[in-house]
Structure 1
Amino acid sequence: MAGGEIVNTSVGVGGSGGIGGVGNTVTVSNTGSIATSGNSAFGILAQSAGGGGGTGGLATDPQTLSIDFSVTVGGSSLTGSGLDGGAVTLTNGGSVSTQGEEAHALVAQSVGGGGGIFFLNEGTPVSITGVNADVDAALAEVMAAINQTAQASSIDLTALLGQLQSQIEAASGSVTLTLGASGGLWKNNGGTATVTHAGAITTSANGAMGILAQSIGGGGGFATDGAGSSASIALANGSSMGGGIGDGGSVTVNLASGATIVTHGAGSAGILAQSIGGGGGYGGMWDALGFSYSALLSGSTGIGNGGLVTINAPAGSGTTAIVTNGMSAHGIFAQSLSGGGGAVSDISGLLIPGTSGNAGRAEGLFAVAYGASSYTQALGVSINYAGTISATGENSVGIFAQSGTQGTSGAIITPSGNIDITFAGTLLGGSYYGTSIQIDGGVTNSINLMAGSTVSALSGTSVIATGTGTTTLNNYGTLSGGIDFSQAGSASAFNNYGNFYSGGTTTSTMVNLGKAAFTNYGIMNSGGPGLTAPTQINGNFVQASAGILVVDVNSTGTQTTDTYSVSGVASLGGQLKFNAVGSRITGTATIAASPLNVITWSVSSDQTQGSTTDVSVTRTSQLSVQAQANFQPAGVSLTQSEQNLAQHLQSSWNNADVAQATTFAALANIQTLAGYEAQLDSLSAEENNAPSASQTTGARTSMHAALSCPAFSGASTLLQETDCAWARVIAGRTEQYSTAQVNGYTIDSLTYRIGMQREIQDDWFLGATLGFTSSNFNPANGYSGSDGQAGDVAVSVKRQIGPWLLSLTGHLGFGGYDNERYVTLGSNTWRAESSSSVITAGGRFRAAYEFAFDSWYVKPYADFDVIYTYMPSYMEAGLSGLNLQMGSMKEWTFAFSPNVELGARFDVSKEVWLRPYGSVGMTFLSNDSMDAQATLQGVGANVASYTSSQAMPDTLLDLGVGVQLYHVKGYELRGEYKAQIASDFLAQEFSARLAIPF
């Protein structure tokens, strides 16, 4: 057969023997647009490798059936010292997008001790767009030189790469991967690696990082499967990460305000930042079986310190965002490692180091000489991020940070350095084993979630801390989900100063403290506001005096109340608050139970002033609370109708009326007295009685209009009744101003009225009037409204006896009104609609006497009125449980009104005279309100209705002015203004009248 069936190959990326060289300083800057297409086609690569290395690759011949190859990324047996990687600085202010497997957008790498990057099957053509003409020319020059060298050796590169790519899929075998130097006596450090990103990054395939930044001492780097293949390849025994000597340098990633990183694909982290001492790096995302931490970390440890890894994203005018979309695609993955090691991916994505089977690794050959116990230290991880991180894929972690020496599972067995995370913004972790934040190792660690932040994960687990170091979690924002400190150091602590929404008894959602302390200084709510859920707290729980424990209660559903179960000692201070969820609060809720029966408490109610519901706390074998309702809390200011409604609600509560569940829940959650007053105002519907009050006063106006055809007798100032027909237009406005006892309103009306009067016998007159009124009612609170039309008729009989005028008047009126009422409960507003009608009937007796003088007169008069008002019952529609059944209204009103009129006569001509006049008086009414019985829909039959009252003034000051122009040959014009004034009340009307004497 042509070609070989089995290939055994060794590939090295890094020097072998000898002294090697030092990596130079590398600086790369981009402000334009870069787009690549192809597997392992990086957007920008900035690399400095000391001790030999850079990039290397491997391909096979067309007939290959089996592959066994060894890949070493790192030098071997280097005898020189100071073979350090140089400082690497990469700045991107433009846009970079890649389309291809493991096509990282930005790569900054500094390696000491040999190494860099290894590609398997790097034959996929790379397309680069968006570069300028100078760069394009430089690339063309490089490619021409490569082709010229190949042609001199009779090699057709294009044909060879095509053959290799098409036949690699038939291959199978194993790969031995080594990341790190081997042999050698000298310390070779990685240089600093700094990435500053102020633009936009997008990657579109598996294993394609947004930013990959590495500094590795002791050799190493990362590998990539290149073009990938369907070859059956497995990781062979003997693979390893680490084993070299040297320190990792500091790694810094700076994200400017508004910078974005978006990745699509499994294992495509937003940022992978590593500083590793002792060799290692990132194994790459291979199409191979057996890739795991235990497979790559079973060998010797290296010797060297991990440098400080820093990620900065300060707050600014823009929103910095990292968004990953894929399985095990983490937002930020940061490692500071000593003794070698790194990160591992398999075909599902970037793996989080585990804790099972976490044995230590053997010290390297020269560990004693270098004093590994003191020399091998990691300097830690510092992350200060303001913005958004969204890593929603399965097993994805928003922020993962690790500091120390890895064991065989990848988890830290010897912590060193500190991990400090400060986050402000929105952080969302993934599902299944995903989390918001996970840290491993470190000596003294802190996680600070700043005010205004929201942190959660689709898995239900928010924060995990592992390692023997001390971790302190301080939450000042809103943290939702489970906490797992079960494998954290015994001096660890979780302090909640903001909102902590725990919730669950499953492993992912419980508060698993281990030996850590949990103290609530803020608000704790199981499941979050509006959700009833159990919370299991494994460990000890303390609520400080400033803390508030919220209990959601719902009488419907399987879980009717929040519950808190504490496995250790519970010490509850501070306050307890009910939050009703869509239903009334009934029965007793268990809020804290301890299997150890160790509960100490000084908790008190934190119900706000506006809440109708308070709680009583009892302690037997557990801590329980009982709801108590008071719908007239201390300090509340209510109108009479609202007080009556509050008593009605109290009776309904006592009767356990299910139909009012939503109402009770909303009232229980009100925060202020003003808020409660407003809610009860919208419920009371006293304004529905306003049309009856308006039509009652309108009846008096109707009866007054029927007494109206006066004229001067001859040339005197004595007014006598005459025969006439007339028409009048009246515009009116009534304003009741709001007070603590009365809800204000405004009524605008327009009335068209006609009438006539005729002498039926000497000094006996019969008068009649017919009116039509259109009115619109608007309350000051805006919660209701009414508009309607009313008609009325009035008939009068008058007796004129010189200066005396005696009269009797009868009235009948009918009005129909469309009413609407807006009810606000919590954040919801509903509208109720109804139609009502009002019938009025009344009578008036008037007695008047005029004192006539040469050009002026004085006329005192008094009216005695009786009015009956009837409003049939009606039912609102549109508000389930909040509709009001309004009972019928039957009101008698008696009125007495003494007045005095002062007028004068001016002869304009022989045929025309002018009468200006004014009046002042008082009106005394027997009623100060219009009352009807009302009942909330759905209350029990044994719950009494309540009285809904529309207040009206019972004492009024009457004022009027007018002018009458009279032509003796057949017409009269009159204009008039009237006002009725009371405390916080003003009714005004303007009228114009045309009369025709006959």
Structure 2
Amino acid sequence: IFAQSIGGGGGYGGTVSADTAGDNSIALQLGGFGGNGGNGGEVDVTISGAIITHGERAHGVVAQSVGGGGGYGGDAKGKSSNALAIGGLGGNGGDGGDVTVIRTGTITTTGKDSIAIIAQSVGGGGGFGGAGFGRFGADDDGGGPNAIGFNTPGGTKGTGGKVTIIQDGEIETDGDRAHGIIAQAVGGGGGAGGMASLAMGQSAAGSQGGIGDAAAAEATAMSQVWVKGASSYALFGQSATGQGNSGAVDLIAEGNLFAQGADSVAAYAESTASGLKGNISLDLKGQYTIGGGGTGVAAMLVGGQNNTLNNNSLTYAMGLTGSFSFQNEADLAEYLQELVAGGPVAPKKAILESLLDDFSPLSITGTSGNDLVNNQRTASTLGRVIGNIDLGGGINGFHNFANSSMVGLKTIDLGGGTFLNDGLMTNKGIAVVETVDVTGGFTQMATGDFVTDVDLNNQITDALALTGAGDFNGEAPLNFLSIDKLFTEYLLAKGSSMVDSGITPTTLHPAVGFNFLTRVDDGTDLVLYADNPTFLELAQDPNSGTNDPGVFEMAQYLDDVEASSSPDNPMARLINMLRFLPDEASLGAALTRLTPHYAVHAFEMVNRSADIMLETARECTGVPAYSNPDGRCVWGVISPQADYNRDAGAGTTSRDDVLKTMSFGAIGEVNQNWSLGGTIGRTEFDSEIHFNQDLLSTTQGESWQAYALAKYENKNYFVDFAVGGGTGMFDGQRDTHVDQVGYIPGETLEGVYLPELLLEGIGNSVTYTQRTAQFGGSARFGVTQQMGAFYLQPTLQFDARWLRVSGKEEGSVAAFNFDDSSNTYYSATPGLELGTDIALSDIASLRVYGKAGVEFSNKKWEIEGQFAAAEDLPGNPALHLTQEVDSPLYRVGAGLELNGVNGVGMAIRYNGAFGETVKQNAVSASLKVSF
């Protein structure tokens, strides 16, 4: 479709070929020679229906009004030095009329240099030709040389008319320099051409014009515009003149703009003149506004006075040759199906990080005008800009509205203006640490988010480097990418001045151990830091659910480890994992699991086994049966089940032990008062430690003990002694589980966060071995008083032991080493035994007895250990883990002993011990032979 009004001459020019030509010849002058003083008339094109063209320079709709000559030119081929002059040679003083194109229906062009719609009003000559349609005007003032001869001879003092295009229907072009919609209002000559690259600086955008004013240019694309070729514009609007004033340019894209070819531009708006420049308005309302690769740009504002770019789209510039990845096979398959189906494709579910190397250098550009970019999400669009921005000079600004997003790559040049953030600002997307340079200031309001990735391993975070003032409110969502070093403090933003208006650092989940804060240093630096509670404070909080002294000791040890070295600390991962737990109860439970309660409990187990052995060692040193006095005696004892339970109450750990002991011994008289002997025995251990019904550790092991025995008797008084010791070995496993820290590993091109992943943990359990040794002695003093059929035996027993425990763990960052901690144990036990011997026959009797005593001892066991990975820390911090010993401990016992022929005896005994937190029950059976 072609509609033209030419004032004062000119018209439609044909095609001229010149195979040979002189160096300075002109192969073609397009549109003829215009007359003088004629005005181009108004051109209105209102039409519907589909248009398809084939071949090069086969345009869809051309509407043109040219004042004073010029017109529409065809093609020129040849060797001339100037292969083409645009629009013919215009006359003088003619004005271009208004040009309006309103059409409904699709347009498809398939060849190079084939424009879907072009509407022109040119004053003073010029018009539409076949070359020289490039990116920028000669300069913002409309002066300077064109790269490809847009200054046609003549064509001066003409005023261009208003140009309006409204296109409702999809546009698709397939060829280099095959543009979508072109609206041009040119004063004083000039116009549009084809066949020149859009590479920056090579050719002018339309024409610079001559003398005369340029009127307004308006274009509305109601539907999608898709230009496939290189150096192509999807939507182009221009008001330009050389000497005079330019008009307003208003472009609206209701649908998508795809210009993904090399050096292509999705939306271009220009108002350039030496005099007053019109305002530019560019509204991008579709889902996508995508510029091309190379020097391609999504949106360009050239010249103008007070310019506004309203963006609702997902807007960026990138070619079609990039490589990228998807988070799963389903997303890849969906993308491939879209490619097969045809039509423009944006890899919306591709991982943004995989695309970073493919974005073009600039996404949005401006020049000398006062440029304001409004980025705003709607119900159906994202309001998302990705890329670098350069708005040039002027008083510029960028407003990122609430619920909208800006992904800065490296630079945001506002020419000293301010970035106002009510939405989400991120540097290269989440999960990539980058510093973005902002030429200008940055103000974040209460609804704004500055997404901050934190890489503790490299001690870096996202940051903004401002040349202007900073003022931060809203939030700084923190996304931790690594946690193997301790958190210190980090620069979030640096500007010429800085105000902290209440920005709040937040985490992906609640973090009970971190208190992230910000402050301003030196009036210029916004600093992220943390004022954290200590682990001991958190553990002692009533909400922690623990009252266990061992847990408090573990918390203190962690505080000491954390304070010893920062940020490099071998326990940093564990410390950070604990601080990232959501609440005091979770932290209390984790600290309880991490505490090696079993290590100090080994002292208690070995000590109780020594008590059992010494009890059985006196099998033949008690009151002799009347019919079979003990002179020499051998025995064997088995204790198949000695249960030990320790429970200090709510919020503490409990111990449940089972000890199985077997021993043998012998003793014999050496004179009237003294008897000497010995005993040896083995004890098996099975120990469990629980917290709130959760199993913390299991320990199995054995110990061997041997004692030398001596007994002194004088009438009804006696003293018996035992001296000896033993060794033990234990193996076990304990729970060291701490919930891992989650992070967002990235986002898609359209800003959907990838599913949360977990950072590496510390290992869920450790295995351990322990070695024990003990040596000591026992002395018991007693007197036996016969009272008729009964006897009464008060005793006083003293025990003293030295015990040593060492251990080693492996399998987790939380593994401990315990190197030869020792304790000395003292106790005194007054007791009383009451019994009777019942004669069953001349050769057999039955002894029945009961006894009770109270044991007084020192109050606690203590062991010292260190994390295996933290043994070389400055200050050598250590865990001092204790376990209280119940004192007094109330002991009770009872037994039945059957003595038979030739001094053979069998016995069943019960022994119990009960304290504030402890209860122990043991049953044993023995066989002895007295002779």
Name the TM tier (shorter chain): 0.5 to 0.7
Pair 1:517-2:420 in alignment: yes
What is the one-letter code of the residue matched to 1:518? N
Pair 1:862-2:796 in alignment: yes
Paired position in structure 1 for 2:466: 566
CA distance in 2, matches of 1:904, 1:401: 110
Pair 1:174-2:174 in alignment: no
CA distance in 1, matches of 2:732, 2:699: 4
Q: Report the CA distance shift for 1:908/1:618 in structure 2 as closer, same or farther (over 3 A).
A: farther
Paired position in structure 1 for 2:238: 359
Q: Report the CA distance shift for 1:552/1:113 in structure 2 as closer, same or farther (over 3 A).
A: closer
Q: Report the CA distance shift for 1:563/1:961 in structure 2 as closer, same or farther (over 3 A).
A: same
Which structure 1 segments of 5+ residues have no match? 1-9, 13-82, 84-111, 121-172, 183-215, 226-233, 244-275, 301-336, 362-372, 383-390, 422-426
2:513 to 599, 611, 629: 611
Pair 1:754-2:634 in alignment: no
Pair 1:946-2:878 in alignment: yes
2:554 to 632, 635, 642: 642
* Paired residues for 1:473-512 under 5 Å: 473=377, 493-494=399-400, 504-506=409-411
Q: CA deviation at 1:646?
A: 3.8
Is this contact kept in 2: 1:502–1:525, CA < 8 A? yes
Paired position in structure 2 for 1:706: 617
Q: Cα deviations across residues 78-106 of structure 1 (Å, max 9, x unaligned)?
A: xxxxx9xxxxxxxxxxxxxxxxxxxxxxx
Paired position in structure 1 for 2:13: none
Paired position in structure 1 for 2:140: none
Q: CA deviation at 1:792?
A: 0.9
Is this contact kept in 1: 2:777–2:800, CA < 8 A? yes
What is the one-letter code of the residue matched to 1:886? F
Helix, strand or coil at the partner of 1:176: coil
Q: CA deviation at 1:954?
A: 3.8
Q: Report the CA distance shift for 1:358/1:564 in structure 2 as closer, same or farther (over 3 A).
A: same
Is this contact kept in 1: 2:682–2:705, CA < 8 A? yes
* Paired residues for 1:52-131 under 5 Å: 113-115=48-50
1:806 to 710, 715, 719: 719
Is this contact kept in 1: 2:687–2:699, CA < 8 A? yes
Helix, strand or coil at the partner of 2:238: coil
% identical equivalent positions: 13
2:376 to 435, 447, 472: 472
Q: Cα deviations across residues 943-985 of structure 1 (Å, max 9, x unaligned)?
A: 1443522313141433445442515137544444444333343
1:690 to 601, 606, 613: 601
* Paired residues for 1:972-991 under 5 Å: 972-991=905-924
Is this contact kept in 1: 2:388–2:411, CA < 8 A? no
What is the one-letter code of the residue matched to 1:597? S
CA distance in 1, matches of 2:872, 2:924: 51
Q: CA deviation at 1:176?
A: 2.3
Is this contact kept in 2: 1:181–1:220, CA < 8 A? no
Q: Report the CA distance shift for 1:238/1:501 in structure 2 as closer, same or farther (over 3 A).
A: closer
Paired position in structure 2 for 1:240: 117
CA distance in 2, matches of 1:590, 1:712: 82
* Paired residues for 1:364-513 under 5 Å: 419=285, 457-458=352-353, 459-460=355-356, 471-473=375-377, 493-494=399-400, 504-506=409-411
Paired position in structure 2 for 1:592: 493
Q: Report the CA distance shift for 1:976/1:119 in structure 2 as closer, same or farther (over 3 A).
A: farther
CA distance in 2, matches of 1:564, 1:730: 72
What is the one-letter code of the residue matched to 1:115? A
Which structure 2 segments of 5+ residues have no match? 3-45, 65-100, 121-163, 186-218, 241-247, 272-278, 302-306, 315-347, 366-370, 541-548, 742-760
Q: Report the CA distance shift for 1:487/1:551 in structure 2 as closer, same or farther (over 3 A).
A: closer
**763-772 or 662-671, larger mean C-alpha shift:** 662-671
Paired position in structure 1 for 2:680: 770
Is this contact kept in 1: 2:440–2:467, CA < 8 A? yes
Q: Report the CA distance shift for 1:237/1:484 in structure 2 as closer, same or farther (over 3 A).
A: closer
Q: CA deviation at 1:791?
A: 0.9
What is the one-letter code of the residue matched to 1:957? L
CA distance in 1, matches of 2:801, 2:292: 73
CA distance in 2, matches of 1:495, 1:912: 102
What is the one-letter code of the residue matched to 1:840? Q
Is this contact kept in 1: 2:108–2:171, CA < 8 A? yes
Q: Cα deviations across residues 547-583 of structure 1 (Å, max 9, x unaligned)?
A: 88786666764x6344332344322346889869445
Paired position in structure 2 for 1:737: 647
Paired position in structure 1 for 2:194: none
Q: CA deviation at 1:649?
A: 1.6
TM-score (norm 1): 0.54
**858-867 or 679-688, larger mean C-alpha shift:** 679-688
Is this contact kept in 2: 1:908–1:914, CA < 8 A? yes
Is this contact kept in 1: 2:893–2:912, CA < 8 A? no
Paired position in structure 1 for 2:774: 840
CA distance in 2, matches of 1:512, 1:790: 80
Pair 1:291-2:178 in alignment: yes
What is the one-letter code of the residue matched to 1:813? G
2:690 to 744, 756, 780: 780
Is this contact kept in 1: 2:107–2:169, CA < 8 A? yes
CA distance in 2, matches of 1:556, 1:971: 74
Q: Cα deviations across residues 232-289 of structure 1 (Å, max 9, x unaligned)?
A: xx3355643899xxxxxxxxxxxxxxxxxxxxxxxxxxxxxxxx99556344574x44
Q: Report the CA distance shift for 1:406/1:824 in structure 2 as closer, same or farther (over 3 A).
A: farther
Is this contact kept in 2: 1:699–1:811, CA < 8 A? no
CA distance in 2, matches of 1:734, 1:480: 67
Q: Report the CA distance shift for 1:774/1:345 in structure 2 as closer, same or farther (over 3 A).
A: farther
Paired position in structure 2 for 1:966: 898
Helix, strand or coil at the partner of 2:606: helix
Is this contact kept in 2: 1:588–1:624, CA < 8 A? no
What is the one-letter code of the residue matched to 2:818? M
CA distance in 2, matches of 1:904, 1:430: 106
Helix, strand or coil at the partner of 1:780: strand
What is the one-letter code of the residue matched to 2:513? S
Helix, strand or coil at the partner of 1:897: strand
Q: CA deviation at 1:992?
A: 3.7
CA distance in 1, matches of 2:731, 2:426: 45
Is this contact kept in 2: 1:612–1:631, CA < 8 A? no
CA distance in 2, matches of 1:220, 1:238: 15
Q: Cα deviations across residues 635-689 of structure 1 (Å, max 9, x unaligned)?
A: 53263532551453255237x7654554555556555444555555566545333
1:925 to 840, 857, 862: 857
Q: Report the CA distance shift for 1:809/1:646 in structure 2 as closer, same or farther (over 3 A).
A: same
CA distance in 1, matches of 2:923, 2:700: 20
What CA RMSD, in Å, does the superposition of the two structures yield over aligned residues? Answer: 6.1
CA distance in 1, matches of 2:795, 2:261: 91
What is the one-letter code of the residue matched to 2:800? V
Tell me how many residue pairs correspond in the alignment. 674
Helix, strand or coil at the partner of 2:599: helix
What is the one-letter code of the residue matched to 2:778? R
